[in-house]
Structures are given as structure tokens and as C-alpha cells.
Amino acid sequence: MFRVTRRYRFSASHRLHAPELDDAQNQRLYGKCNHPFGHGHNYVLDVSARGPLDPATGRAADPEALDALVGRHVLAAFDHRNLNVEIPAFASAVPTSENLALEIGRRLKDNWNTAFPGEWPRLDTVRIAETGKNIFEIRADEIE
């Protein structure tokens, strides 16, 4: 099995604020990320596919097909957006990077067969770096 990883970049803003908590609790929990006007990040997204080597092509996954899938269902939706306001999934979930990785993973899983109609490759992991220190990863089999 090979794992093929492609890297993407997008910028988005968000405010971390849980509506079931009061303002003081949100401030303690999220600190500067709870700023009322939000803040932005230049996210780095790694999407990995897993599959066997195809002897005919010498590839485990077509990187152009992966690029098209991510471009259509992730980058077009999230780049230069206010996650709290413009992404319906975050109407009921705090747009933490964990929830962002989960939402990206759901979108990729839901549309995977349009890009890769066969048994292989399969989505393996979604990894998102919010900053140089904050990196979050979820395996495809952990995505509901």
C-alpha cells in the first residue's frame, strides 16, 4: 500500500465561541480566538489517499483527480470565507480546527466516488495546520 499526500493552502476567518457557554467561559476557554470580530488563518491542508500501486500506471492515486476533488469541494467552499457565517456546518458547531478537519473529511468522503469510482484509492487522512504549532489530523475511518 502507498499513501499519496497532496498539500493545499487556503485562508479563512473564524471566531471560536460556544453559544451554550457565557461570555466569560468562552473567553477563558478560547482566549484571543474568542475576539468578537474573529481572526484569520492561512491554513495548510494535507489530504492523503491510500492504495496499491497500479502496475499499468505506476501510481497509487491520480494527483490531478485529487486536486480537482479538493478544489471543488473544499477550496472553493472555504477559501477567503468567514467560517462562522458562510459555512452551514458551523451554524451548529464551533469552527475549531478539529471541526474544520472533520467537515473537510465529510465533504471528501461524500464525494470520493465521483473522483475515484473504483475500489482504490481510498481516503486515508485529513491533516490541517492552523499555525506552525497547531496541527490536527483525522483518519477517514474516524469520520462519521
pLDDT value of position 35:
96
Q: What is the DSSP letter of 117?
A: -
The alpha carbons of the chain give a radius of gyration, in whole angstroms, of 17
Instruction: Kindly name the residue from 17, 33, 41, 103 that is annotated as catalytic.
Output: 33
33 annotated active-site: yes
Instruction: Kindly name the residue from 39, 64, 80, 142 that is annotated as catalytic.
Output: 80
pLDDT value of position 144:
84
Angle CA(26)–CA(137)–CA(121) in degrees, nearest 5? 145
80 annotated active-site: yes
CATH number of 2-142: 3.30.479.10
pLDDT value of position 37:
95
Model confidence, pTM: 0.95
Task: Tell me the domain boundaries of the chain.
Answer: 2-142
Per-residue pLDDT of the chain (144 residues), as tens digits, is 999 999 999 999 999 999 999 999 999 999 999 999 999 999 999 999 999 999 999 999 999 999 999 999 999 999 999 999 999 999 999 999 999 999 999 999 999 999 999 999 999 999 999 999 999 999 999 998
